[in-house]
Amino acid sequence: YATLLTAAFAHPGHHKAHVPTGSFIEWAPAGPNDVRGPCPMMNTLANHGFLPHDGKNLTQEVVTKGLGDALNFDAALIQVMFKQALPANPDFPNASFFDLNMLNTHNLLEHDASLSRLDAYFGNNHVFNQQVFDQTKQYWVSPTINASHITNSKLARMLQSKASNPTYKFTNTTEAFSIGEILAPFIAFGDVEMVTVARNLVIYFFENERLPVKLGWSRKTNAVALTDILDLAAKLSNASTLFTGVSPLPGTGKRDVAISQR
Ligand code: HEM
Ligand code: MG
């Protein structure tokens, strides 16, 4: 793939603050000296050179430029995401960057029941896993993925892990993070208002760790802000239940809401 590499991927290794300029066309997978992690999008952006191709030294400046140029994420949103990622660096709180493979630490940010990765208990928790992703895809039952399809796949992965992994862990924090992940495809490739996204774009992205430019996708013209994320998070959280109505059991959020509305 070396012939694919252009100036976009050249990075002076000794310049920590170097901010790469990515390309929607140019793409190369990780080479032997490049690191990648459990996030399909961060890997993708490194493959395109929107993030350093070696996956290292991701400062706030670098991440802001990369996610801005590639996905039109606004700077305020990236600041929030970057702050959440920094503890992945073992030097935290004395750290100003992270490397993509630092995200691999199990039960820090990386968690069980991923859509496309094995639980750490079963093996590699950060490389794309086709068998796991095939399970996930079973729930994407039409050419357009909606809130129900994506949350069904998430719940299925959770149930699969809970039933088979004796170390299965999924806390409130995991849930919040996980909702952030399942809303990501709608943000990057879909319709945020309708909560829909074309299945072929999402599958191509996960399976190739490449932006689905070939399939007609292009960067959104409107900037993605924190409010978009929060709105989608609420919708997907509501869709993440197996109940169809008010729970008859005490102590559930649904029942509390129903009572307070009487
Ligand atoms: C998963 C970090 C930005 C989409 C993950 C995971 C980490 C992570 C640690 C693994 C969680 C797991 O165990 O499944 C980050 C950081 C980001 C970032 C530090 C930026 C600072 C993004 C963006 C998108 C995205 C911008 C897309 C718009 C996803 C998706 C998953 C994921 C879809 C779930 C993968 C799966 O379940 O197999 N991310 N991420 N991420 N991320 Fe990111
Ligand atoms: Mg995981």
Predicted TM-score of the model (pTM): 0.90
Mean pLDDT within 191-196:
96
Q: Please give the ipTM for the structure prediction.
A: 0.99
- DSSP secondary structure of 202-244: HHHHHHHTS--GGGT----SSPB-HHHHHHHHHHHHHHS-S-S
Cα 182 from Cα 79, distance rounded (Å): 20
**Contact by Cβ (8 Å): 116, 133:** yes
Q: Over 70: is that where the pLDDT of 254 sits?
A: no
Q: Is 40 in the pocket of ligand 1 (CB under 6 A)?
A: yes
Cα 88 from Cα 108, distance rounded (Å): 7
Handedness of CA 21, 26, 29, 32 (dihedral sign): negative
**Contact by Cβ (8 Å): 80, 229:** no
At 224, phi and psi to the nearest 5?
-90, 125
Q: Residue 40: nearest ligand to its CA?
A: 1
Query: Which of 36, 41, 57 maximizes ligand 1 atoms within 8 Å of its Cβ, making it the mutation to test the pocket?
Result: 41
Q: Output the pLDDT for position 245.
A: 78
pLDDT band at 230 (very low <50, low <70, confident <90, very high): very high
The amino acid occupying position 4 is L
Structure tokens at 183: 């809303």
C-alpha 38 – ligand 2 centre gap (Å): 7
